[in-house]
Amino acid sequence: MRKTTKTPVARRLTSAAIALGSCLALADPAGSAGAAPADPVPTVFFGDSYTANFGIAPFNQDGDKTLCFQAKENYPTVATRRLADKGVTLDVQSDVSCGGALIHHFWDEQELPLGLKVPPQQNALKDNTQLAVGSMGGNTLGFTRILKQCSDKLRSPDHGLLPGYPVDGDEPAATCDEFFASGDGKQWLDDQFEQVGWDLEEMLERIRYFAPDAKPVLVGYPRLVPEDTNKCLTPAPGQTELPLADIPQDALPVLDQIQKRLDDTMKKAVADAGADFVDLYANTGSNTACDGRNRGIGGLLENSQIGEGDQWLPWYAHPNEKGRDIQAEQVAAKAEQILNR
């Protein structure tokens, strides 16, 4: 049975979304097209560590938001610059992306380590916001817990910064492919995907409600595991760790299937809401964590750009600069397409 939200705000959000959809259908006939707007486009960027681009230095150290690890040159910044080069100016009202954000942090306060807190991301939306762009879903799914279920190294205290814990710590990492295929592991995964779908629906409704003129753009996640998993058995140039650490090779297709299912879940939420989607999974098959010099994803235990001396935080499978540039290119192209409708 599909979950229904019974709160007054949810009913208002739904009504507003329906009304807005009707207005848009009347105002934007099929096949219409026009030039990109001459005036700056009020834009809000939201999202998790894949929007913040954790691991790329330098990062914004702005008081309570320091531990969001938001790169100064994250994909919102680079995409904005790419669009400006094409004569499309974004008036970035705010970039509230923050590492560790779950979908519900769009409307709930997010607690960070050391007692720091950041307000709900929806607070950045304004009546005149015209674009709302960002990535959300991976943390609500619990992807780091899935990775820890499949890796003894990630379970160790040495890598305690990676949030979460294994889905079932009593099950050995070596059998994680079987764990997620049946029984409690499969049920857990099904429940998580159901939650992701509900929360994305709520988030997209809230964007419509708090920024009635905004076009929501949900940005997917770049592909982590290649089709040929033999590529994952060799360290990247200059590295000693395997790209996906000690995750068993027979579990890698399972991780890829889970990521593809997340991509499909995000697509469905976007289609149901009449929003737009940037499908990074479909466009990064040759830039996975296992693609050597072409990798757009930093290996799980490969040193990122955050740290000093002999203390560096791993990438934990986040986009490196090449991956960030792919994100920016795809997001800029989608924004230009939307604004040219």
Q: Is 97 a catalytic residue?
A: no
Q: Is the peptide bond before 58 cis (omega within 30 degrees of 0)?
A: yes
Name the catalytic one among 47, 49, 296, 323.
Answer: 49
Cα 121-49-241 angle, rounded to 5 deg: 170
Name the catalytic one among 139, 287, 304, 320.
Answer: 139
Name the catalytic one among 53, 318, 320, 323.
Answer: 318
3-class secondary structure, 313: strand
Question: What is the rounded CA–CA span in Å between residue 46 and residue 98?
Answer: 8
Sequence-ordered alpha helix ranges (H) in the chain? 8-27, 49-52, 75-85, 138-141, 143-149, 152-155, 176-179, 183-210, 252-273, 321-339
Q: Is 318 a catalytic residue?
A: yes
Q: Is 139 a catalytic residue?
A: yes
* Dihedral (CA of 224, 225, 227, 230) sign: positive
Question: What is the rounded CA–CA span in Å between residue 256 and residue 251?
Answer: 9
* β-sheet bridge partners, residue 260: none
Question: What is the rounded CA–CA span in Å between residue 17 and residue 54?
Answer: 33
Tokens of 219: 């940005």
- Tell me how crowded residue 2 is: count the other CB atoms within 10 A of its CB: 7
Question: What is the rounded CA–CA span in Å between residue 215 and residue 68?
Answer: 25
Name the catalytic one among 100, 137, 142, 299.
Answer: 100
Tokens of 48: 């998790």
Question: What is the rounded CA–CA span in Å between residue 337 and residue 335?
Answer: 5
Catalytic residues: 49, 100, 139, 318
